[in-house]
Structure 1
Amino acid sequence: MSDTLKTPKVYLVGAGPGDPELLTVRAERLIKTADVVLYADSLIPPGIVALTRADCERIPTKNLTLETIVPLMIERVRAGKLVLRLHSGDVSLYGAIYEQIQALHGAGIGVEIIPGVGAMQLAAARLTTEWTVPELVQTVILTRTPGITPMPENLADLAAHRATLGLYLSARLVDQAQAELQKHYPPDTLVAVCHRLGWPQERIWLVPLAEMAAVTHREHLTRTTLYVVSPVFGAGATRSQLYHPQHRHLFRP
């Protein structure tokens, strides 16, 4: 057992979008030293799982429910194991960790969260852009379409802000999403359709909003797809005031 484990707890670790080189240093160290790793095998690339020790107990969870996963973690922790629950992307966004934390705390087990690189950050890197461009857009909205989990917000209402909007978990409902977005974004607004970011199969299409659904259907995209609608695509030159010679502040009077 690693010295990393000082108190009974489970590590909830963000594995990032898929590229092992985009793991945080702490996440990589924990993955390499863990005694037990539970991971969603439909979302975590084999290259990341391969970082675990040869004698690590690897537990795939895509077919398991919370009622099975949580007792497994509790049992291993109480046996003195370093237990790691590996999530794709960043655990704080659509990670379904809230109920895990509650259940673990209820059993007297602590939790430590290790954040991961999010798909939105990698999308901006791949597209060589910034999601907040001065005088163009200064707000980022991350959302999804309603599915099994209902939405307390309305997608069209969010689109009314014309912010940079990242749309997760929506490939199967892309026609509905496109119709809602077009209520406020012009149909020629560019959308980045990002599939399996960080994976060897990564692909990105930059298309008008009016073609978002058509591309999705043509490429048979049903999972691990992120859509980013943003005014930054195709925008002209602009700059912030932060490094402008006329901008004065504490360190540059």
Structure 2
Amino acid sequence: MRPVVHVVGGGPGDPELLTVKGARLLQKARLVLFTGSLFPEAVLGELAPKAILRDSKGMVLEEIVALLAEEAQRGPGVVRLHSGDPGLYGTLLEEKEALEGLGVEVEVVPGVTAAFALAARAGLALTAPEVAQAVAFTRLGVRTPMPPGQDPKALARPGLTLAVYLSGMHPKRLARDLQEAGLPADTPVLFGHRVGQAGEEVGLTDLSGLAHLPARDTTVFLVGEALRARGVRSRLYDPDFRHRYRR
């Protein structure tokens, strides 16, 4: 049997937002490698009571891969815990490629990303019938550049909901860029700081108010008209709309 590392999406930090599979793997884990700057170790102690907990925030990729591969060779129960979902703004691809190159199988377990947790916390939707039917995940290019045409300013347009990550230290720049792209100053903005963790703060403002928010890490922004959509109705449950399940 090939050695296996389970890459688990830990969600935004609230243990009740873990998937059942993720929680089961943590309960059985022998080693959990996690990022302490993003996931509270105190919570992990309860979720993975049998595991050795290792914080990866001071490690480089080669050290992470070497540790995971070595422990996986010793036996099952090795978990690489990512915050949110492993496939969004994480290191899934590089870790998976390196581990597979060493003969280690990688199984990925998805997690709840912060944008979804934030919308749920506020009781709002990212899409609304005939208002917004598209969502784009993006970030500001700060220490690492963005590919051309993929930053918030390039993507901003009416009817598109933006989920902006890794930009909490630059709310004024984000507000300026989006207004320069043509979004009105009263475009709704939902912000969430440390969503699902101690010290959580969630609030609704607009682009003019966004410029005055404090600069804080671990903040995600949702921007778009879907956030204030009211009186909308999906055709799916309209009595005049026919589909294969209701004729």
Same fold per superposition (TM over 0.5): yes
Paired-residue identity, %: 40
Matches of residues 187-206 of structure 1 in structure 2 within 5 Å? 187-206=185-204
Matched-pair contact (CA < 8 Å) for 2:2–2:103: no
Letter in 2 for 1:160: R
SS of the residue 2:107 aligns to: strand
Q: Is the 8 A contact 2:139 2:166 kept in 1?
A: yes
Stretches of structure 1 that go unaligned for 5 or more consecutive residues are 1-5
Kept in 2, the 8 Å contact 1:33–1:52? The answer is: no
Task: Tell me, in whole angstroms, the C-alpha distance in 2 between the residues paired with 1:19 and 1:53.
Answer: 14
Q: How far apart are 1:215 and its partner, in Å?
A: 1.3
Cα offset for 1:139?
0.4
Say whether residues 1:22 and 2:20 are aligned partners. Answer: no
How far did 1:82 drift? 1.7
Give a deviation string over 1:2-34, Cα, whole Å, max 9, x none. xxxx63111100001111011000000000101
Aligned partner (choices 53, 58, 67) of residue 58 of structure 1 = 53
Letter in 1 for 2:223: V
Which of residues 183, 200, 204 in structure 2 aligns to 1:185? 183
Contact 1:31–1:51 (Cα < 8 Å) also in 2: no
Of 142-151 and 44-53, deviating more is: 44-53
**3-state SS in 1 of match to 2:98:** helix
**RMSD (Å), alpha carbons:** 1.5
How many residue pairs were aligned? Answer: 244
- TM-score by length of structure 1 reads 0.92
Residues 206-229 of structure 1 show CA distances to partners (whole Å, capped at 9, x for unaligned) of 112112131124xxx2x1100110
Aligned AA (1:35)? R
Of 113, 119, 122, which residue of structure 1 is paired with 2:117? 122
Shift of 1:87: 0.6
Give 1:1-253 correspondences, 5 Å limit: 7-152=2-147, 153-183=150-180, 184-217=182-215, 221=216, 223-253=217-247
- With structure 2 as the length reference, what TM-score do the two structures score? 0.94
Amino acid at match of 1:216: P
Separation in structure 1 between the aligned mates of residue 206 and residue 25 of structure 2, nearest angstrom: 42
Which digits, 9 at most, give the CA deviation of each residue in 1:144-194, with x for residues without a partner?
001222101242120035411010000123222211111221001111111
The 1:55–1:28 alpha-carbon spacing in structure 2 relative to 1, beyond 3 Å, is closer
Residue 34 of structure 1 contacts residue 52 of structure 1 at CA under 8 Å; is this kept in 2?
Answer: no
